[in-house]
Amino acid sequence: MSDPIPALPTVDWSYAPSVESTAIVAIPAEQGLWIDGSMVESRSGTTSTTINPATEEPLGVVAEAGEEDVDLAVKAARSAHDSVWADLPGRERAKYLFRIARLLQERAREFAILETLDGGKPIREARDFDLPAAAAHFFYYGGWADKLEYAFPGIEPRPLGVAGQVIPWNFPMLMLAWKVAPALATGNTVVLKPAETTPLTALEFARLTAEAGLPDGVFNVVTGAGATGAALVAHPGVDKVAFTGSTAVGKRIQESIAGTRKRVTLELGGKAAHVVFDDAPLDQAVEGVVNGIFFNQGHVCCAGSRLLLQESIHDAFVAKLKDRLDLLRVGDPLDKNTDIGAINSAEQLERIRRLVAEGESEGGERWQPACDLPERGFWFPPTLFLGVAQSHRIAQEEVFGPVLSVMTFRTPAEAVEKANNTPYGLSAGVWTTKGSRILWMADRLQAGVVWANTYNQFDPASPFGGYKESGFGREGGRHGLLPYLGGVA
């Protein structure tokens, strides 16, 4: 006769956050501009406060560079170009880039936390994607610096001069690396304008370049908003303009440099189609679609924001998608479990809300999982729009948020026609188990990047950039060198 089995202790399975400490990050209360190798006060005297979008708490004050400040930065870059950087042997330039890559790896966690604080992205993404990828870009392009004559046949590689680079707020450090690494590797010097809502990592990176011993003036940072960017692009001392951001601003930049000898690359908006055929592995495809649109709150120019489902799998796929969305965790970006962090700014949140409201008024059926959003900060839940027509604004305009429009198709030809029915052409996704169909689709999708049976993959060795109004020029890979090289005739 045995004793009765003792009752199991009660386990509390309710959610326990796992929050990254911010103790290793020190943000200066007020920062100037990084010009000619040191932090200087702005001549403009104007400043702005950058906030944490998850709490709306101020993080620090930064300068807003005026025309005079931009002029000083461009002159510093010109001087560094002419006196030291352009003629430095490639093998020496390479070693600076390798040093920068190593320092970024060493201080990756600090930068990741800073990125999350300033931009609102989940720490898991900043830590596991943004920072490793940024360091990898410096490693990749460091290796090119002394091999440029082998990159493309028949070229006589030489730098263009001073590169004015304007980057967005969605991947501040990664966009910095995409721009700065190939520019420096090819012997150009840089004046970088980070986004007004995410200036902190660029300024910290500036200090890191000094730690790496990078000669003064080779890399300069002017913080500020659109006016600062416009002043940089318009400066006559800038030889090369590189811009990542909206198509509207990209067009203005292309207009503004018309008739000058400035070279330009534009990496602009997108409205990517994500095509799922009835023979696709549906559970894998659901993961890909979720990653495609909800990665980084959907603040991704190549986000798969138009889901094209083959008609026969629509209901089953949407059911699986809803089940998956129910499990996404929205909230504190510093929580390592968070899938969807804060919307980057009040302005962006307003834009998302406006487009979602229009999506509903045009007849789309909005679906959102039940989720509690924090009271303070900028938040938007993952959102599906069902029953969307191609003519709906929600299917045409870039939302740049966690909003997925669902449409259907019957034949591969119809999928291609709908996928290409947009002025954008940055990226596209396709899910099918049929190899010949993947290649057939890949040939026809008008997009600079086609992800087949995967989505949102990036690598320093892989070129990225758009067709049509998503811009021109490539960043990454061997092709990413070309926009920074003279002597390609």
Partner 1 sequence: MSRLEVRKTHKLFIGGEFPRSESGRVLAATDADGVVLARVARASRKDLRDAVESARAAQPGWAGRTAYNRGQVLYRVAEMVEDRRSTFVRLLAADGRGAADLEGEVDAAVDRIVWYAGWADKFAQVVGNVNPVAGPYFNLSTPEPTGVVGVVAPEVPPLLGLVSTLAPVIVPGNTAVVVASGRWPLTAVAFTEALATADLPGGVVNVLTGGADELVPFLASHLGVDGLDLTGADRSLVPDAARAAAGNVKRLLVDPPDDWWTAQSPYRILAFSEIKTVWHPKGT
The residues binding partner 1 (CB under 8 A) are 136, 152-155, 247, 250-252, 254-255, 258-259, 261, 266, 268, 423, 438, 442, 447-454, 457, 459, 461-465, 467-472, 474, 477-479, 488-489
Report DSSP state, residue 4: P
Measured between alpha carbons, how far is 419 from 384 in angstroms, rounded to an integer? 18
344 contacts 297 by C-beta, under 8 angstroms: yes
Assign 228 to helix, strand or coil. helix
Q: DSSP assignment of 21-81, as one string?
A: P-TT----SEE-EEETTEEE--SS--EEEEE-TTT--EEEEEE---HHHHHHHHHHHHHHI
The smaller minimum CB distance to partner 1, of residues 254 and 368, is found at: 254
Q: How far apart are CA 96 and CA 141, in angstroms?
A: 11
Q: Is 232 or 268 the residue whose CB approaches partner 1 more closely?
A: 268
Query: Distances in Å between the alpha carbon of 378 and those of 59, 335, 420, 473?
Result: 16, 16, 33, 34
Residue 267 designated active-site: yes
Nearer to partner 1 among residue 88 and residue 450 (C-beta):
450
Q: Pick between residue 380 and residue 464 the one whose CB is nearest to partner 1.
A: 464
What is the rounded distance in angstroms from the CA atom of residue 434 to the CA atom of residue 205?
45
CB of 40 to partner 1, least distance (A): 34
Q: Of 20, 204, 301, 302, which residue is the catalytic one?
A: 301
Based on CB atoms, which residue is closest to partner 1, 201 or 247? Answer: 247
**Residue 302 annotated to the active site:** no
Query: Where do the H-state alpha helices sit in 401-464?
Result: 412-419, 435-444
| 165/180 Cα distance (integer angstroms) | 8
| Minimum CB distance to partner 1 smaller for 134 or for 447 | 447
- Return the H-helix or E-strand segment holding 286: helix 282-294
| Catalytic residue, candidates 115, 196, 267, 398 | 267
Min. distance of Cβ 225 from partner 1 in angstroms?
22
Please state the separation of Cα 320 from the chain's center in Å: 28
**Residue 61 Cβ vs partner 1, minimum distance, rounded to whole Å:** 35
Q: How far apart are CA 220 and CA 202, in angstroms?
A: 10
Q: How far is the CB of 373 from partner 1 (least distance, A)?
A: 34
- The nearest distance, CB 154 to partner 1, in angstroms, is 7
Apex 277 CA angle, 471 and 329, nearest 5: 75
For partner 1, which is the closer residue by CB, 25 or 257?
A: 257
Torsions phi, psi for 236 (to 5 deg): -65, -15
Residues with a known catalytic role: 267, 301
